[in-house]
Structure 1
Amino acid sequence: MNIINPPKRLSRLRPLAFAGLVLVTVGIAVALQRHSLTPAGLRHHFAALHDLVTHHRLTGFAAFFGIYILATALSFPGALILTLAAGALFGVVAGSVLVSFAATIGASLAFLIARFLLRDFALARFPGAFARIDHGIARDGALYLISLRLVPVIPFVAINLLAGLTRLSLGRFYLASQIGMLPATIIYVNAGATLATLGAHHTVLTARLILGLLLLAALPLAAPLVRNALTRRRRQAGFSRPRRFDRNLVVIGGGAAGLVTAYVAAALRARVTLIESALMGGDCLNTGCVPSKALLHAARLGMDFPAARAAVRAAIAGVAPHDSVARYTALGVDVRHGHARIVSPWSVAIGEDIITTRAIVIAAGAEPVIPSIPGLAHCPSATSETLWDLETLPARLLILGGGPIGCEMAQAFARLGSDVTLVENAACLLPREDDDVSTAIATALRRDGVTILTGHRAVAVLAEHGGFALRTDFQDDIVDIGFDRILLAIGRKPRLSGYGLEDLGIAPGPGRTIETDAWLQTLQPTIFACGDVAGPYQLTHIAGFQGGFAALNALFSPFWRFKPSYRAVPAVTYTSPEIARVGLNEREALARGIACEITRYEFTELDRAIAEADTEGFVTVLTRPGSDRILGATIVGTHAGEILTGFTIAIQHDLGLKKLLGTIYPYPTRSEAIRAVAGLWRQKHASPRGLALLHRFHKWRRR
């Protein structure tokens, strides 16, 4: 029988089985209720059992064994009492053997009951949650279960039932339960045996009992240590650990994540090597944040294409010293140029050179996604990395992808003089944002001359007379869009190949990123990952943020560990107007079923915006219903990214709108929008009764 997906004929028996189980449980409960369960009654039952064991030890052992299995299988409370009784009746050795096997058999039966009766019900209602749990179970479920069993404060009944809802096999469940429950079993059985020997004048807290209680208290502390040790031993099997290490840390990748990791490690006086195969500064400095923002600024100032290219090169040259080999060498970092390959959990190869290290941090970044479109390889194309090699302005530029990169470059090249067409498969631009945000950016781009085609699915690239055309499918109609050059901006994927990760058992997770835990540790305990290769955000500031935590955890684990918090993650699209967001927006709140209130403030009401004749945009804030707690904020308008910082700090430190309303803002500034939207929320939540009382109070004072 397939116990994970039972046949349909067995599925029909579930209601009958469930009803039968309820009747059996109720019947046992009624039968027990008829017996006296007072302290005197319990002493009587114990005396009877003791007499049975004394004169018929094998029969008493078998009877107690069956009772324990039944109680555990039906998830009756009182397993602790039975365990103590086993020690009192059979002694430490025999009692431990009895309880260990009876508890594991009973737990396995409860596991099967939960799987047969409840798994489909649970999966239908929480598919996402159990998919994640099953992924973790497939990776190291047995070790995790052992660690849970080592923590007596977690009810074993709950573990039995919840494990039955996962895809954990019965064999792994049984073995992990047998091992994990044994230490607590011995301690409790020992306590029962000790208590049974106490007479009227004996001290209750004997040395033997105190030792058992101390061991019991130590189990929750030992559980993660045991799990980590077993995990480390299993995953590092087959690799030879060096006796000494050349470095404390090796960092692979000289982008935002890797630079911060190396900087923090060097500042903490660790011996660190940073390996970069291309240019220091990574994508952000050379092909991403810095050049794109310089190009946007040049286009905003009305420069022509040659001047804009010069401005981009000047911006890169101005920032480059911050990320240079010279600077990091001066900080104490051993900077190497070359391709890194991890050959073991403690060694990295650069060509023929092998560096041994206590820990490794992978910060290799991401690269543009190249879609599989027939004919694409035979046309002039560019990505966010190769775009900067253009020497002449494309007359007709087609941008595939309406995300942040696509929108930014569409506006920049349109202002520089290209005839830009922006093609997006989704129904709107920036599809993760709210509808009013997508509408605002579409309006702004059309005003700059960009042709926007949403809902168009790319089918093929065709060579046409004098140029090329992208064939798209739009509502089952074929639409051909001519272009001279196509910019691919449909996303980025982590750089994972060529680093030896497959040989170490480090495979990409569901999001195509390196799978890490909450402390950025990979499946190999000595290897960490941060930035775009780890996710879940492809943002330069998140990469740098994670880099600091990766350095700390790589250097100090397992003694100390530091968990990054993603409670307030800001993101900005640097178009005109800018689009900035932190936390939830309305679209995400609806998708996740989170109730919220929305407060909106228009820049047409802001004095600074009026003075500058730049009133386009708005601020929306999501709060808990009836509360000033901020769930998220979205800003569309000039300097939206700078204004967003106020909301980011508020969310990070749990400051509500009332606190923001009570803050002093300089006048006239765009940051006053924070106070204004907080004031609108306060007006909306003013108490009618309180206002009526204030009216009467002031009327009384006028007399």
Structure 2
Amino acid sequence: MNRPQRVVDEYDLVVIGAGAAGLGAARAGVGMGARTLLVSDGQPGGDCTFTGCVPSRTLVEAARAGVPYAVAAQRVRDVIAAIAATEDADVLRAEGIDVILERARFRSRDRIDVGGRTITARRVVIATGSSPAVPRIPGLRETGFLTNETIFDLPELPRALAIVGGGAIGCELAQAFSRLCSQVTLIERADRLLPDQDPLASAIIAEVLTREGVDVRVSAGLKTVLPGPHLELDDGTTVTATHILVAIGRRPPAADLAVGAAGVETDPRGYVRTDKHLATTARGIYAAGDVTGRTQLTHAAYQMGRIAVGNALGRWPATYREDVIPQVVFTDPEVAQVGILATEAPAGARIAELPMIGLDRALTARATDGFVKLVAGRRRLLGNLGGGRILGATIVAERAGELIHEPTLAMATGMFTGRLAATSHAYPTWSMAVQLAAAQFFMTIDGRTTRTVSAGVRPPRPGR
């Protein structure tokens, strides 16, 4: 039953957008005692709930379980409905948040038009997210294509699916649809899949996908699309498919908020400019989530939303730290990363690597594709005492998305690297991989102390 909407035109906080960033911001505002209005031109939950993380992970898990496509598609719908029910407008109103499901448009810095009303706001958080980027390829729009906003609505399994973009979304859905028995071709313009990840991680995922039957094409950009559809690539090859999925990244939202009227500047790409406190160029207006062009991840957006509101309403500004936001590619094995890559390690940094073949838990699961790689650097004044500090971690493993949080905690708290090695871990578990990798910074092999152990050195196991 809908609760009556309060007729109040003046708010302490107005949040525009109801995805992860908007929900985080609105809930933080109410928690700080602010009269809060959440405005959205779509249902609360945004991309993550309806077209992003939730349906994608559900489909990945269903494909891994080996169920038919019809069952997988129903699971996607069921999970979306279950999660959406926990964050719909009535739930938010019950939490003390006013909700208007209309489009917003700035009239000035502190006045916003919403559904025929003019709202006055002391503070504003812009959290309007992003939308799928679509390349200007001849014939693509005429032929038709799918994005993450439409792929999960397909009534039947694509017989032959061409995926343009070998990033996280492309790799996840390539593996999922291949396991659901689609014929999948994965096309990436760069010279490797997951081009923003560790090169070894890219190689492992490419090998796994190829082994499972995905036709992986790298160093191949989409040149044109002909009826069929037939995709002509710039390497001279052709791909024939029944469906095309475009997964090349994100772009700023298309909705026009008239941010210029509020004095909010955008960068050349169209993202809202923010400083380290997530403040925009207009006094009292902050931005959070994808619309900032920063880390485009659900958990990052939620954290940004809370930080933005804390800074807007509080006295002591907090800084958004992108370096301690973990990211996970939900392939099998998963790829997780936080901080810098080993390829970005500064002079004097040390790198330890443990291949999954050296972890007993991976052997028991017969899941030895992958590795743990830790980058450690010197601490100010203390140098490498206690192993220094963690600067970054990359993990490729069956449970990499769970394992990455231990190095993330070490980075966020400035923990000595040695504490990861010294903390007892249950045997045999996946998390022991982090402990064993960290221990390499302190190991003695053949009578000498080694700071960085090569992948060929097998660390000692605990006694059974």
TM-score by length of structure 2 reads 0.90
Compute the displacement of 1:657 (Å): 2.2
Point out the structure with max Rg over C-alpha: 1
Question: Partners in 1 of 2:56 and 2:348 — Cα distance?
Answer: 37
Q: Paired residue for 2:339, among 565, 583, 593? A: 583
2:265 and 2:280 in contact (8 A); partners too? no
Aligned to 1:471: 232
Aligned to 2:442: 682
Distance 1:624 1:686, change over 3 A: farther
Question: Partners in 2 of 1:256 and 1:511 — Cα distance?
Answer: 22
Question: Partners in 1 of 2:151 and 2:224 — Cα distance?
Answer: 21
1:614 paired to 2:367: yes
Counterpart of 2:278 in structure 1: which amino acid? Answer: L
Aligned to 1:637: 397
Q: Paired residue for 2:302, among 544, 566, 574? A: 544
1:570 and 1:580 in contact (8 A); partners too? yes
Pairs within 5 Å for 1:386-397: 386-397=150-161
Question: Partners in 2 of 1:685 and 1:532 — Cα distance?
Answer: 47
- Paired residue total: 436
1:245 and 1:358 in contact (8 A); partners too? no
Aligned to 2:462: none
Pairs within 5 Å for 1:385-424: 385-424=149-188
Partner secondary structure for residue 364 of structure 1: coil
Pairs within 5 Å for 1:126-145: none
Aligned to 2:134: 370
Aligned to 1:522: 280
TM-score by length of structure 1 reads 0.60
Partner secondary structure for residue 610 of structure 1: helix
Counterpart of 2:432 in structure 1: which amino acid? Answer: E
Farther-moved stretch of structure 1 (314-323 vs 289-298): 314-323
Aligned to 1:180: none
Aligned to 1:567: 323
Compute the displacement of 1:375 (Å): 0.5
Partner secondary structure for residue 232 of structure 2: strand
Structure 2: 5+ residue stretches without partners: 1-7, 451-464
Pairs within 5 Å for 1:15-414: 246-414=10-178
2:442 and 2:449 in contact (8 A); partners too? no
Distance 1:560 1:649, change over 3 A: closer
Partner secondary structure for residue 163 of structure 2: strand
Question: Partners in 2 of 1:684 and 1:656 — Cα distance?
Answer: 19
Counterpart of 1:565 in structure 2: which amino acid? Answer: R
Question: Partners in 2 of 1:402 and 1:567 — Cα distance?
Answer: 23
Distance 1:689 1:567, change over 3 A: closer
Q: Paired residue for 1:652, among 386, 391, 412? A: 412
Question: Partners in 2 of 1:440 and 1:401 — Cα distance?
Answer: 17
Question: Partners in 2 of 1:560 and 1:402 — Cα distance?
Answer: 41
Distance 1:689 1:507, change over 3 A: closer
Compute the displacement of 1:549 (Å): 0.9
Partner secondary structure for residue 682 of structure 1: coil
Question: Partners in 2 of 1:597 and 1:576 — Cα distance?
Answer: 28
Partner secondary structure for residue 361 of structure 1: strand
Q: Paired residue for 1:670, among 430, 435, 440? A: 430
Distance 1:601 1:505, change over 3 A: same
Aligned to 2:253: 495
Structure 1: 5+ residue stretches without partners: 1-243, 691-703
What value does the CA root-mean-square deviation take over the aligned residues?
A: 1.9
2:295 and 2:322 in contact (8 A); partners too? no
Cα-to-partner distance string for 1:290-317 (whole Å, 9 max, x where unaligned): 0000000000001111111001011112
Distance 1:336 1:594, change over 3 A: farther
Counterpart of 2:440 in structure 1: which amino acid? Answer: L
Question: Partners in 1 of 2:448 and 2:155 — Cα distance?
Answer: 66
* Structure that is richer in strand per residue: 2
Distance 1:689 1:351, change over 3 A: closer
Aligned to 2:238: 480
Q: Paired residue for 2:262, among 487, 504, 526? A: 504
Counterpart of 1:528 in structure 2: which amino acid? Answer: Y
2:272 and 2:292 in contact (8 A); partners too? yes
Distance 1:689 1:437, change over 3 A: closer
Question: Partners in 2 of 1:510 and 1:433 — Cα distance?
Answer: 25
Compute the displacement of 1:560 (Å): 3.6
Q: Paired residue for 2:350, among 588, 597, 602? A: 597
Compute the displacement of 1:496 (Å): 5.6
Counterpart of 1:617 in structure 2: which amino acid? Answer: G
Compute the displacement of 1:685 (Å): 9.3
Compute the displacement of 1:518 (Å): 1.4
Cα-to-partner distance string for 1:517-564 (whole Å, 9 max, x where unaligned): 1111111112110000113210111101111111112223xx442222
1:364 and 1:496 in contact (8 A); partners too? no
Q: Whose RCO is larger (CA < 8 A, sep 6+)? A: 2
